[in-house]
Structure 1
Amino acid sequence: MAGNEAGGTWTAPLPVRRVERSPYAALPDDQWPLTIPAVGQVMREGLDLGAATILVGENGMGKSTLIEAVAMAYGLSQEGGSTGARHSTRETESALHQDLRLVRGAGASRWGYFLRAETMHGLFSYLEDHPSGSGADPSGRRSEPDFHRLSHGESFIGMLQTRRFDGEGFFVMDEPEAGLSFSAQLSLVASLAEAVAEPGRQVLVATHSPIVASLPGARILQLDETGIHETAWEDLDVVDHYRRYLDGPERYLRHLFG
């Protein structure tokens, strides 16, 4: 039984208990992306994951770099998709995934799915061209919405309601709030909370949204120019900024317009 899962004690092991440097790692410490403080810290110290882990931080702090590398090390497509998927249009990812070792829970599910906002359109086209698997019934006919006919927000929430996200597995999301309204972000949080309430399900999310970061029971990690810091939701920089802005937008706007 895994011992440090966020949100409670589970009867099934987590798919990924820890992320650490592979003994066969080849990237030098003075080469990008290891020069990003958060990435360098993971390579030096490793990173323990709970049932729900949220990465928060400004652009350029390494959230997407780490999320992408962990997903690929698990066997997920860099542009989104399931374990073993081969969906790829242009290779722009770093080689970091090759230098990572994932410590898996003994007997845990090896299923997973990766969703990233910036490549959702391409993923939906790929699924449309390859309707077999969880997107189709045994006859090969489509058994899910035509995602291209939905708004970005509707398609994202609709994806979470397919069979791909049923059962145990490792579910990775990069900035899932993109294109989601306030209420849709709340629906996303509800879906994630429902997912990790079941033994053997695990989520790893990178976000700029204080709403998504409020996922109950999640371990929240703030990435900045000094590395990775476990942080309470109410102490996050993004939460503080949103509160201050909503309380008095002019205090921010006057710096933009002089």
Structure 2
Amino acid sequence: MMENFISRIYLDGFDEDSYLFEIDGLKKFKELDFTSPITIFTGENGSGKSTLLEAIAVNWGFNPEGGSKNFNFSTHDTHSPLYSSIRLAKSFRHAKDGFFFRAESFYNVASNAQDIGIGIENGFIEWGGKPSHEQSHGESFLNLVNNRFRGDGLYILDEPESALSMQRQLSLMVSLKELADEGSQIIIATHSPLLLSLPGAQIISLDSDSPLEIDYQDSKPYQLLKLFYEDKELLFSKLFD
């Protein structure tokens, strides 16, 4: 296995008056090792997984709303200050490519790229003879991964499943596994039990007061899906009675 571009992150701490101190998954966080080419953050809403993912991306040099390091637009300046409190332990390997995907702002990224004329020739704005804004959200995202992600890079994805059907999530898993096998590093935040099952992925739960590495079977998305299929009546009785 090739060395990861980011091998470890450190949190230097932040002001206890900061709202960040109220995020359960970050209260006692000091450091985290990346032990696999694919690392997946999971946790309930508000657990801090997307906040931590964003901080890593911004610290690396990505635009807070997404895109590559070449993107510097700002539609809404709402990113957290956590990026200034973390340190990244980087390898001597140079990432030849990289991209930060945020489902909530991908439209803005594509619009900005189109406005400034980036990427028609390399498959970002247009692929398959169709501009990105003429494709569905899921279609344009999968084409982004398959045509814009060139490999040997760092790819950070925040809740990519929000744009994708289950079948398209399986397609995404194949593409991400191929990228990782060929030397890329991929960091994901997700609620999807499908994406969490990526072979060889390191799963980090932020449902405790510090990031905790867990097995797939111990993740809440898996456990809820398992309960749904094995005892749907019990689940529904708890929900609706």
Q: Is the 8 A contact 1:80 1:87 kept in 2?
A: no
Q: 2:64 aligns with which of 57, 78, 86?
A: 78
Indicate the SS of the match to 2:162: coil
Compared CA separation, residues 37 and 217, structure 1 to 2 (3 A) = same
Matched with 1:174 is: 158
> 1:4 maps to which residue?
none
Q: State the secondary structure of the residue aligned to 1:34.
A: helix
Instruction: Output the CA distance in 2 between the equivalents of 1:28 and 1:215.
Output: 36
Q: Is 1:21 matched with 2:7?
A: no
Q: Which has the higher helix share?
A: 2
Q: SS at 1:178's partner residue?
A: helix
Share of identical aligned residues, percent? 35
Q: Is the 8 A contact 1:80 1:120 kept in 2?
A: yes
Output the CA distance in 2 between the equivalents of 1:228 and 1:190.
26
Alignment check: 8 A CA contact 1:81 1:87 kept: no
Partner of 2:114: 128
TM-score normalised by the chain length of structure 2: 0.91
SS of corresponding position for 1:29: coil
One-letter amino acid matched to 1:208? H
Amino acid at match of 2:27: G
> What is aligned with 2:212?
229
Q: TM-score, normalised by structure 1?
A: 0.85
Partner of 1:5: none
CA separation in 2, counterparts of 1:84 and 1:48?
A: 28
Q: How does 1:43-192 map to 2 (within 5 A)?
A: 44=30, 46-49=31-34, 50-109=36-95, 111-132=97-118, 135-137=119-121, 143-144=126-127, 145-163=130-148, 165-192=149-176
Moved over 4 A (4+): none
RMSD: 2.1
SS of the residue aligned with 2:39? strand
Tell me if the contact between 2:32 and 2:211 (Cα under 8 Å) persists in the aligned partners.
Answer: no
Q: Kindly indicate whether residue 202 of structure 2 is the aligned counterpart of residue 219 of structure 1.
A: yes
Q: Does the CA-based 8 Å contact 1:77-1:86 persist in structure 2?
A: yes
| Counterparts in 2 of 1:129 and 1:244: CA distance versus 1, 3 Å | same
Please give the alpha-carbon distance, in whole angstroms, between the structure 2 residues aligned to 1:218 and 1:231: 11
- Aligned residue among 224, 245, 248 for 2:228: 245
- Look up the match of 1:197: 181
Q: For residue 35 of structure 1, what is the amino acid of its counterpart?
A: E
CA offset at residue 30 of structure 1?
A: 4.4
Q: CA deviation at 1:142?
A: 5.8
> Counterpart of 2:239?
256
- Counterparts of 1:226 and 1:51 in 2: how far apart (Å)? 25
Q: Which runs of 5+ in 1 are unaligned?
A: 1-8
